[in-house]
Chains A and B, each alone.
Chain A
Amino acid sequence: MTKQQANWSPYDNNGGSCVAIAGADYCVVAADTRMSTGYSILTRDYSKICKLADKCVMASSGFQADVKALQKVLAARHLIYQQQHNKQMSCPAMGQLLSNTLYYKRFFPYYSFNVLGGLDSEGKGCVFTYDAVGSYERVGYSSQGSGSTLIMPFLDNQLKSPSPLLLPALDAVTPLSESEAVDLVKTVFASATERDIYTGDKLEIVVLNAEGIRREYIELRKD
C-alpha cells in the first residue's frame, strides 16, 4: 500500500487587495470588491471593509470565511466593551484587541491579512497593519493582500517619510490633503488591477474624518 500525504487544506485564498492611508485629520481605507477562488470569480461585489467602531474601520484580505468569523468576534467584544465602559472603543484600543484576538489562534490562525484605519483620540489619522497572527505596528500607510507587492513600493515612493535616522524626527502621517490621498488610492488600485489577476471589478473607498464616515465606489477592470 503506497502512503500518500494528506492534501486537504482548511484554508483557501479569496484574493483581493486592501490599502489604508493616514492623514493629519482623516483616514482613507480602501479595498477592491472581487472575491475569487483559483482561476474563477465567485462574486464581483463583495465588501472587504467592516466598520468596527465609530472611528475605526478594518479592511481584510485572505480567506473570507476566517475574515467573517474574525469580524463577528470583534463586534461581540466591542459590544461588551460598550456595556462595561459606556463608550465606544478608540482606534488604538481596537488595534490592541485585534492583535490579541489574532494571537489567541496562534496555532490555527485566521488566514486574514488586516489593515485597521481610523482616528485616534486626538482626531489624527491612524493606521495599524497586521500579519496573520497578530504582530502589529502603527504606521502612516499600509497595504495587504495579493496586490500589496505591487502597491506598497509605490506608496513608499510617494508617501514615505525620510529615513528615521535623520534628525529631527519627522511625523509618519502624510501631509497630503484628503482629496489627494483619495486620488492616490484610485491610481494605485487602477495600476494594481492591470497586473494582478485577483484585483479588480470595483473599488470601495471609505473615508473617516471629523464629520463622520463617507463611502465611495469606482469601477475597475473586470477581466
Chain B
Amino acid sequence: MSQAAVEVPPKGGFSFDLCRRNDMLSKKGVPLPSFRKTGTTIVGLIFQDGVILGADTRATEGPIVCDKNCEKIHYMAPNIYCCGAGTAADTEAVTEMVNSQLQLHRYHTGGRESRVVTALTLLKSHLFNYQGHVQAALVLGGVDVTGPHLHTIYPHGSTDSLPFATMGSGSLAAMAVFESKYHEGLTREEGINLVCEAICSGIFNDLGSGSNVDICVITKGHKEYLRNHHMPNPRTYFHSQGFSFPKKIEVLFTKVTPLKEMVGVIEGGDAMEE
C-alpha cells in the first residue's frame, strides 16, 4: 500500500501559493507587474421607454493611456448590456462568461428572452465566490418582460437596483451631473443628452477617463449600440509634412568571427583497407 498521499487536482479558484514569494520579492525591491485597468466613467439611467448605458473609451496602465478607444459596453444578451470598470481582463472575462451562460440558459428554457435579474445573479455569485479578487465593477442594464432594469455590481458581489447609476474613477464627476439634472420620465433625446453630459464630465474632470463617449439605448424589443456617439477630443496639432526617419545607425566597428573553421577537402587521400 502506497504511503504517499493521493495527488488531488486543485478545486479551482485562485491558488495563493506564490503570495509569500511575491511578498519576499517586493520587500527586495522587485516591483509587481502592472495590469491594465480601465480608470473609467460608466453610467446608466432609466428613461421612459427603457434603459440607456454610457461609457468613456480610455484604458490606462498607471499614468499611461494604453488604449485610446476601447469598448467598455459589453454584450450580454440581445436585450441586456453591461458596462465594466476596474481591471480590463476581469471585466472582459466575467461578462463573456455570463454571456455564454445566458445563451445556454436560453437554449435550455425554450428560447425565452433572458431576464436582467438572471444576469445579475450569475455575476454577483461569481464575484462573491472570488471574494473581491476579481476586480470588476459593473453597471448592468436591460429590458425584459418584467420591465426596464438597471443594477450596479461591486467587486465583492453586492448589488444595488437604481434609477440612475455611475461607477469607476469618474463616477463622482458623472454623478454630480445626474443628481442635478435627472428626473423621471425622460424622453430618449433627453436621456441620451444627459448620459453624454455625465460621461463628458468624467472625461474632462477625471484623468483616468477620456477620449470618446459610447452609448447603448435598450428599449422593449429593440436596442441601439451607438459606438463613438460623441467624439469631443480630436488631436490638436498635426505636423504639416509628417516626419521622416532618415538617420542610419552609424557603424563604429566591424569584427567578423567565424564560428566554424573553413575546411578544405583534398581529393584522393588514403586508400581503404581491404
Contacts and interface: CB of A to CB of B under 8 A. Distances in A.
Contact of B239 (A39, A187, A220): A187
A196 B207 CA distance: 9
Contacts of B232: 223
B211 A39 contact: no
Interface string B93-109: 00000000000000000
Nearest to B173: A40
A190 B169 contact: no
B208 A39 contact: yes
Given A40-B207, A186-B239, A190-B235, 15 more contacts: A36-B207, A39-B39, A157-B245, A183-B239, A186-B237, A189-B237, A194-B235, A195-B65, A195-B68, A196-B65, A218-B236, A221-B210, A221-B235, A221-B236, A223-B58
A39 B64 contact: no
Given A162-B250, A194-B65, A198-B63, A223 B210 contact: yes
A223 B237 contact: no
A219 interface: yes
Interface of A: 36, 39-41, 146, 150, 157-158, 160, 162-163, 165-166, 183-184, 186-187, 189-190, 193-198, 218-223
Interface stretch (B114-122, B158-166, B183-191, B198-206): B198-206
A189 B204 CA distance: 18
A77 B209 CA distance: 43
Interface of B: 39, 58, 60, 63-65, 68, 169, 203-211, 232-233, 235-240, 243, 245, 247, 250, 252
A196 B204 contact: no
A189 to B, nearest CB: 8
Q: Which 9 pairs across A and B sit closest by C-beta, in order of nearness? A: A223-B210, A190-B237, A197-B207, A187-B239, A223-B203, A195-B65, A39-B207, A186-B237, A223-B233
Contacts of A195: 64-65, 68
A183 B243 CA distance: 11
Contact of A146 (B63, B68, B210, B239): B63
B60 A197 contact: yes
Contacts of B233: 221-223
A219 B236 contact: yes
Interface centre among A41, A190, A197, A219 (most CB of B within 10 A): A197
Contacts of B206: 39-40
Contact of B68 (A36, A157, A166, A194): A194
Nearest to A36: B207
Nearest to A197: B207
Nearest to A219: B236
B237 A218 contact: yes
